[in-house]
Structure 1
């Protein structure tokens, strides 16, 4: 289930909710039950997607990543598939308690996860795009806290699409080593993401705070990528991917800061040590 990664999915929802609160008449009031339902939804949806990634990759992992749970014999394919289905059902059910739009987004996430796991990951362009759409929809799941926000700023989901497309492009070299051109493209995409968040912050009067929160993000994701660009070694590429995934927390902290939601910014940042701790216990890539 990649627990460290699931924590980053929670940060997606918190960022989306922070953005949504800008469109709620009394933005200082947060419905804790709705927030909890959205968090449970993203845990189920992301967890199910990751589990099915291993289900579909069982034969490939037997050759390239024999230490993974299924090829190592610790988990059966049937058992993993059952777990994935249960997690998806939990995710959709939790989203449905919030409303029709969140449930539709949840179904879309399930579909996009399965498309990526089964087919998309093996495609040069469709792979990064479908994986990015999973994250973009996850941000929309948080934004669906407010129907008005979903109507007004749905396009912000394009930013995590760009970011995850960059991380997914880097990850193609985590087994056999990277190539310089894809890594350079990923660095450029990182820059686009930063520019979008800062522009959003400036527009919503949270610019200084947003810029401040972008700096930890830059310091966390760019140095490993720079090293991977120098060496092109698989181990350095894997480290860059790991930082790219966990770096989502800093990216989402920047979103919440750009929206001026200090409380949620602090909540997102608290997820970072949790994700780092889990990353030491469980695989991230």
Structure 2
């Protein structure tokens, strides 16, 4: 059982749930209808599990030497999972993600392949750069939203630009996460706050354009509260533990941000399903590390 938990820990289960929320938000934005088929959400949800899981496993593979110093309790440096086993697992998950996406269609496979490539480039090189790292990680998350939109290919032309919003959001989280071990500067946290605000404003504008503004406001407000409190604490005292809590809140509250997208496009059924994912992610976050 402890061996299984070690392998699960590598995949960041709480984060995997947020990736599922990305796909459901993309499906809602695409206005996918379920009356004739359920294949899109099924295969694309499996695809994102492979892509996200593989990406975070490979992150730990490339960070094995650093984690041996800074986080020796993690599965690889602690010896609970060998480096070779973790590498095989990570690559197989990425390939599985592309295969599941291809089961829906070539466009979905193309997006999945780009996300997998982006994850590997980030894990190996980009994360060591202050700007390029957060940007690429944001692009991977934006690609995940596009993967959900690919359920209706035309939606990529109509609404594909909305993938820039998770780019900004995840970019903010990745930016501040660079200081979660040793502490950071308030300037970085203020930049993150500005990017969060941009996300909220765009979501509300789109929601009101779609005629669903009033229904979306509570979800946007809830998301602002979830990310705002720990971020404010980190701004007041930018030490490592506070920044870590801000990062954790930013990741988990992605679920509420995605629920807001569902509501903005009038799909309250999917919004409800996505909201239900939140307590699942929170529960998993108490068992497995998020960052």
TM-score range, shorter chain: over 0.9
Q: Which runs of 5+ in 1 are unaligned?
A: none
Establish whether residue 3 from structure 1 lines up as the match of residue 13 from structure 2.
Answer: yes
Alpha-carbon separation, structure 1, partners of 2:74 and 2:236: 28
The Cα shift of 1:194 comes to: 0.4
Q: Which runs of 5+ in 2 are unaligned?
A: 1-10
The Cα shift of 1:215 comes to: 1.0
Establish whether residue 253 from structure 1 lines up as the match of residue 259 from structure 2.
Answer: yes
Q: From 98, 106, 109, give the equivalent of 1:100.
A: 106
- Residue 230 of structure 1 aligns with which residue? 236
How many residue pairs are counted as aligned between the two chains?
A: 281
Where in structure 2 are the equivalents of 1:13-24 lying within 5 Å?
13-21=23-31
Which deviations, in whole Å up to 9, do the C-alpha atoms of 1:56-87 show, x marking residues without a partner? 00001111111111111111110001101111
- Residue 174 of structure 2 aligns with which residue? 168
Where in structure 2 are the equivalents of 1:1-285 lying within 5 Å?
1-21=11-31, 27=33, 29=35, 31-285=37-291
Distance 1:73 1:252, change over 3 A: same
Q: Which runs of 4+ in 1 moved over 3 A?
A: 27-30
Partner SS, residue 183 of structure 2: coil
Q: Is the 8 A contact 1:178 1:228 kept in 2?
A: no
Let me know the Cα RMSD of the aligned residues: 1.0
Alpha-carbon separation, structure 1, partners of 2:62 and 2:265: 39
Q: Is the 8 A contact 1:198 1:210 kept in 2?
A: yes
Alpha-carbon separation, structure 1, partners of 2:257 and 2:181: 26
Alpha-carbon separation, structure 2, partners of 1:261 and 1:220: 22
Q: TM-score, normalised by structure 1?
A: 0.97
Alpha-carbon separation, structure 1, partners of 2:123 and 2:36: 35
Alpha-carbon separation, structure 2, partners of 1:259 and 1:29: 18
Partner SS, residue 239 of structure 1: helix
Q: TM-score, normalised by structure 2?
A: 0.95
Q: Is the 8 A contact 2:39 2:104 kept in 1?
A: no
Partner SS, residue 97 of structure 1: helix
The Cα shift of 1:28 comes to: 6.4
